[in-house]
Amino acid sequence: MSSMPDSSWPRRRWIVATAAGLLVPPAATAQSASPSAASPAPPAPDAAAQEAKAPPLPAPGTLISMPAVELLDGQRFEPAMAEGRVLLLYWWASWCPFCALTSPHVDKLWQAQRQRSPGQGLAMLTFSIDKKPDEARAYLQRRGYAWPAAWVSPALHRALPKPKGLPVTLVRGRDGRILQAEAGQLFPEDVEALARHVG
C-alpha cells in the first residue's frame, strides 16, 4: 500500500483485497467494469501461477534499476532517459477491470505532465501484461492512450519483474529509489497526487 496514508485508504484496502480474488476475472466482471469497451481478451492461462510467484511491492527507498525497453510504438526507452527524473511505472492489462478504472486517470496525469518543460514533469513508462503485444496495441488505440507503453516479454519480466497485484503503480525518484508503491485501483485523487513527487 501507499507509504503515505490518506482518507482513501479504507476503500483502497477493500479494493486491493477484492482485486486479489479477481486478478483473473471472468469476462462478465470485466465487461461490467467498462460496459462500453469491447469484450476483453482473457489473461494468459498461467497468469495466476505467475502472480503467485510475483515479488511484493518494493518498500520506499528500494533501488530500482531500469533496463532498456522496446516500446509498442517501435521506439525505445533507454535508462538514461530516467536519469535525474521522477518516473512513474504502471503495470496494466486490457482484461483487468481495475486497470480500466485507473488508466483514464493515469492518462489524464500523463497529458498534464507531458506539457511541462523537458525534465520538469513526471516521466512515465507503462507495461502491458497481456498475452500478446497486439492485444495491448489494440487496447491503447481503442482507448486513445498515448503514454509510453511496453509489452512484458519474458526477457523484460526477468529484468524488471512485476510486483504482486494489478494494476501496479510505482514512483521512482530522481535517485532511482522508490518513493511510492501501490497495488490495485487508484482513485482520481490518488493518481493526481502522484505528481507531488515532482515538486
Query: What's the pLDDT tens digit per position in 114-139?
Result: 877 666 778 999 999 999 999 999 99
The predicted pLDDT at position 121 comes to 77
- How does 162-179 read in b/e, with b if 16+ C-beta sit within 10 Å? bbbbbbbbbbbbeebebb
* Residue 42 belongs to some domain of the structure: no
* Residue 33 belongs to some domain of the structure: no
Decide: 150 and 137 in contact? Cβ < 8 Å. no
The predicted pLDDT at position 118 comes to 64
Q: What is the four-CA torsion angle of 18, 179, 51, 70, rounded to 10 degrees?
A: 130
* Residue 88 belongs to some domain of the structure: yes
Contacts 24+ apart (CB under 8 A), 112-119: 112/195, 113/195, 113/198, 119/84, 119/85
The predicted pLDDT at position 2 comes to 43
Domain count, the chain: 1
Say which residue the cell 476503500 belongs to.
11
What residues of the chain score a pLDDT lower than 50? 1-41
Residue-number span of the structural domain to which 191 is assigned: 62-197
Decide: 128 and 152 in contact? Cβ < 8 Å. yes
* Residue 191 belongs to some domain of the structure: yes
* Residue 183 belongs to some domain of the structure: yes
* Residue 10 belongs to some domain of the structure: no
* Residue 16 belongs to some domain of the structure: no
Q: Which amino acid is at 90?
A: Y
Identify the CATH number of the domain in which residue 68 sits: 3.40.30.10
Cα angle 171, 176, 178 (rounded to 5 degrees) comes to: 40
pTM (predicted TM-score): 0.77
* Residue 75 belongs to some domain of the structure: yes
The predicted pLDDT at position 48 comes to 67
Residue 99, classed as helix, strand or coil, is helix
